[in-house]
Structure 1
């Protein structure tokens, strides 16, 4: 009960709903925290890509739930980052703590109305989410999503088909987390704790969206004075994707400018709380071999 009370303090005055599966298999129920007090600023979707069709959950339901899950990830980070001496050092230098926190604050948004702790940054409402693969980047089989963020084009997140293989954390319309036949829609603690390591199993559709928000320069570039990108080496080989690369491997000097460093830090923190589990370091070729991306490291 003590843990439930503590979690109910997340994100200042957020409303807490206590439920069991799909989030946790531990004796203590998991807590899903969400802001039910107002419509937050979040990206928009178009009917052409996301028609609201039967049956539910459909892809529109998945995306709208993922918007909430992205905020959840930021909320859990902001609740713990000041005192986190266990998880944070695996992803960032201690001296960058304030800046990393400000990046998550930039996404989470603030408001002067005490009972409405988050509006979401107003800039998020400028983003359009679509399925149309305008640049053909989804064809490689390992890309979950990508973003257009130019001065001419409207900021756009493209979600590839692989992205919809990623699951939800909070409740989806049309999928009851208490029903065995609907649990396939949800990420849960059982496979994570059985594996015991930071891994692709932690990833969700909400985390994919969070990763793309981090590429929106107008939202976060001012924090560290440079864009948050996907780091590569001088040969152009990606070195900033996936749990193995960002956990104690990528240079901590590059981490503040690498989107997956934030994404996996947030995921590690979320599942540490929900599963009440200390996860071991990810293993190359095992914990980054994501079947949703052809047993490769997924890219976003």
Structure 2
């Protein structure tokens, strides 16, 4: 099965403090101008379902908690090897500072656990407003008319996306599957039993809405691009494939700049997620997890796509 084509990458925009509709136009976030204040949480005004709003609110707070733990512990000797493990050659001193700044941009002062003020510029929409073209997603029932969350590729569907509105406002949408995913407190219960013993896509990111929120914010230019000088995209997903990227010895050029897989780790969104979870869960659970393995046959239901597609793997 194919993964996203390189064109099927998150797209981005400038921010605003007005409420945008995906199809165009805008209205004030409040009837009272005195109540229009700078936000830290992303803008959930259009989410009318209170349970979903609560899930998304906690999801962002959990994502900030994970990222803040990374900033606190990333320089500890216990986590030194994780730089190269996840970022490969992009773990040199210059790259490390850029990676650090990605997390700093997202966390901000973090005085109340909601993260940087810039997070409040992102609008979250209840409607699945993106209808990708074949050029954007190179597989599945992609015809330019099917909403993202309804696209089926070998029985798998998407989770969420970051995409500007037609008004060029930064926007996100989360597919229905995320409402069944757990918060951080639940995952850490019973000595982190739910997380298993190895770094796991099935048990971690497919069960944790905070990880999904963190991934989407990596695409936000004020978080990612501001730190690494280019958009953070989706070259590979899941723990197994991200580890493949950082340790890949294939010297064939992958992108228009002639970069190899191992050189793209610093601009791959899920790499940041797995690096962050590796550090944070080890610290929060006070246990070490073994490395990721292929799990493509472990979860036959509710699978996220793109699924694993590693060259040479049978």
Q: After TM superposition, give the deviation of residue 162 of structure 1 in Å.
A: 1.4
Deviation of 1:124 (Å): 1.1
Matching residue of 2:312? none
- Give structure 2 stretches of 5+ with no counterpart: 1-37, 131-146, 247-260, 309-314
Matched, 1:70 2:63: yes
Which residue is equivalent to 1:180?
none
Sort the Cα spacing of 1:75 and 1:294 in 2 relative to 1 into closer, same or farther, 3 A. Answer: closer
Deviations 1:76-99 (A, max 9, x none): 110111222132321113212111
Query: Which residue of the partner structure matches residue 262 of structure 2?
Result: 252
Shift of residue 71, structure 1, vs aligned partner: 0.6
Q: What is residue 220 of structure 1 aligned with on the other side?
A: 224
The aligned counterpart of 1:24 is none
Q: Could you say if the C-alpha distance between residues 162 and 155 of structure 1 is closer, same or farther in structure 2, counting changes exceeding 3 Å?
A: same
Count of aligned residue pairs for this structure pair: 229
Question: Helix, strand or coil: the match of 1:157?
Answer: strand
Q: Deviations for 1:250-290, whole angstroms, at most 9, x for unmatched residues?
A: 43310110100001111122211122222222111358747
Residue of 286, 292, 296 corresponding to 2:302: 292
Scaled by the length of structure 1, the TM-score of the pair is 0.67
Query: For the residues of structure 2 that align with 1:262 and 1:287, how far apart are their CA atoms?
Result: 24
For 1:110 and 1:294, the matched residues in 2 are separated by 33
For 2:149, which of 135, 138, 145 is the aligned residue? 138
* Structure 1 counterpart SS, 2:245: coil
Give 2:195's aligned residue. 192
- Are residues 161 and 117 of structure 1, via their aligned partners in 2, closer, same or farther at CA, if it must alter by over 3 Å? closer
Does structure 2 conserve the Cα–Cα contact (< 8 Å) formed by 1:198 and 1:268? no
CA deviation profile, 1:109-134 (whole Å, cap 9, x unmatched): 138xxxx4877322211111123111
State whether residues 168 and 186 of structure 1, in contact with CA within 8 Å, keep that contact through their aligned partners in structure 2: no
Q: Does 1:127 align with 2:122?
A: yes
Q: Report SS of the residue matched to 1:146.
A: strand
Q: 5 Å matches for 1:143-292?
A: 143-149=158-164, 152-170=167-185, 189-193=192-196, 195-203=197-205, 204-231=208-235, 240-250=236-246, 251-286=261-296, 289=299, 291-292=301-302
How far apart, in 1, do the equivalents of 2:215 and 2:304 lie? 20
Could you say if the C-alpha distance between residues 191 and 217 of structure 1 is closer, same or farther in structure 2, counting changes exceeding 3 Å?
same
Q: Distance in 1 between matches of 2:162 and 2:212?
A: 11
Distance between the aligned counterparts of 2:183 and 2:163, measured in 1? 24
Gaps of 5+ in 1: 1-38, 53-57, 171-176, 178-182, 232-239
Cα distance change of structure 1 residues 51 and 75 upon mapping to structure 2, 3 Å threshold: same
Seen in structure 2, the aligned counterparts of structure 1 residues 40 and 169 have a Cα distance that, compared at 3 Å, is farther
Partners of 1:202 and 1:295 in 2: how far apart?
15
Distance 1:230 1:296 in 2: 10
Match of 2:42 in 1: 43
